[in-house]
Structure 1
Amino acid sequence: MSAVIPAPGELVAPTRFTQDTLDWVPWVEPLPIEEVTEHHYEALVQRSRVKNPYFRLLARDPDILRERTKADLDIFLNTDAGLPRAERELAATAASRVNGCVYCASVHSAFTTQQSGRREDVQRILDEGVSARIDQRWDAIIDASVALTQTPSAFGAAELAGLDAAGLDDLEVLDAILAASFFNWANRLMLSIGEPGVPPSA
């Protein structure tokens, strides 16, 4: 079964950054489900991802997808040490807000809320942008994520000092850098191959 890509004018684009669930529609045909092989499933890592057109599109190059997915899951789900999951998601949210990736921002802001319970603070970042001030720790993570996203080479001593002053240890700093950097790349990929839409029932 191939993806049904709406004709021009049929997709209802979101008008704001939101924590609500959005659809995502590819501009390039994803791999049809009936053509997915065990090699593709291994690349997806989580078999349920086959339902997502984004991952089926990336599955056209399964070896690259496998490495991308393993990196993604390790950065965000390997919480034996380093940043709590909520603050990794916060870094991804900040990067997505800067890049204007409404879909990624919706996913990762919702995870930030789910993991932190701080829905109003998260919504302020979406509504006001990354200049919104929340508290010292979140502000430092946001500022570091913004610097990495806008001009990676400009990230440096000032951002590291802010993270240190906010109480982050070396592993936490590394996690903040990895989460923001991964989504700085992931946003650009997603923005170049499709667009978000508001689900019909929304």
Structure 2
Amino acid sequence: MSERPISRFPVPELKDLPEDVRAKILAVQEKAGFVPNVFLTLAHRPAEFRAFFAYHDALMEKDEGLTKAEREMIVVATSGANGCLYCVVAHGAILRIRAKSPRVADQVATNYRKAEITPRQRAMLDFAMQVSLDSATVDDADFAALREHGFTDDAIWDIGAIAAFFAMSNRLANVSSMRPNDEFFLMGRVPKA
């Protein structure tokens, strides 16, 4: 287990948090078996914690237009490009589970262009990277290319919104020096006990 602090910023005690924030953290702990450090890192600013997780859940917890695994692919690929260790490790773990493929998850984390993914997913990740790294260049031709792969306007919005949201998240994780939980490194690699 790492001895490094989970954040450069204060990490409050659960007992000192507003009830709704504490309840959300405890619900995640119940489901995952541990508290992901992002919850504890952001909890010191309760209003921002609520806004962050409301938008996160609105983007990531639906299965319309994109699968949950494809949503995680966007996070992992763009987080790698943004140099965000926390998000690559944490969302890489979620991708391993949702894609049911540790190999593909690791490939996407390293270089999605060489990953064993479909041409549709490659087009999705090309667009997500453009939004994450050079959004000023997005134009109608980019939308046309995605439509050729069957993406609707709603799905294209989701690709862009996930890339944009996690670009912000990556920067917060990097500024705070957020440490990935040790539990993430094995998730989806070994059978659950």
Normalising by the smaller structure, the TM-score range is: 0.7 to 0.9
Name the TM-score, length of structure 1 as normaliser: 0.75
Number of residues of Structure 1 aligned to a counterpart in Structure 2: 178
Residue in 1 that maps onto 2:189: none
Cα shift at 1:47? 3.1
Residue in 2 that maps onto 1:66: 50
Residue in 1 that maps onto 2:124: 141
Residue in 1 that maps onto 2:106: 123
Does 2:62 match 1:78?
A: yes
For structure 2, which runs of at least 5 residues remain unmatched after alignment? 30-34, 187-193
Deviations 1:119-148 (A, max 9, x none): 323322223x24325331111111011101
Write out aligned runs for 1:1-202 (5 A): 6=3, 11=4, 25-41=6-22, 45-49=24-28, 51-79=35-63, 81-127=64-110, 129-132=111-114, 134-196=117-179, 199=182
Instruction: Give the 3-state SS of the residue equivalent to 1:26 in structure 2.
Output: coil
Shifted more, 165-174 versus 50-59: the winner is 50-59
Name the TM-score, length of structure 2 as normaliser: 0.78
Cα shift at 1:174? 1.7
The answer on whether the counterparts of 1:26 and 1:54 sit within 8 Å (CA) in structure 2 is no
For structure 1, which runs of at least 5 residues remain unmatched after alignment? 12-23
Identify if the C-alpha distance between structure 1 residues 115 and 152 changes in structure 2 by more than 3 Å, giving closer, same or farther. Answer: same
Alignment-mate amino acid for residue 169 of structure 1: T
Identify if the C-alpha distance between structure 1 residues 155 and 191 changes in structure 2 by more than 3 Å, giving closer, same or farther. Answer: same
The answer on whether the counterparts of 1:94 and 1:180 sit within 8 Å (CA) in structure 2 is no
Give percent identity, aligned residues only: 21
Q: When you count helix as a share of all residues, which structure comes out higher? A: 2
User: In angstroms, what is the RMSD of aligned CA positions?
Assistant: 2.7
CA distance in 2, matches of 1:198, 1:54: 9
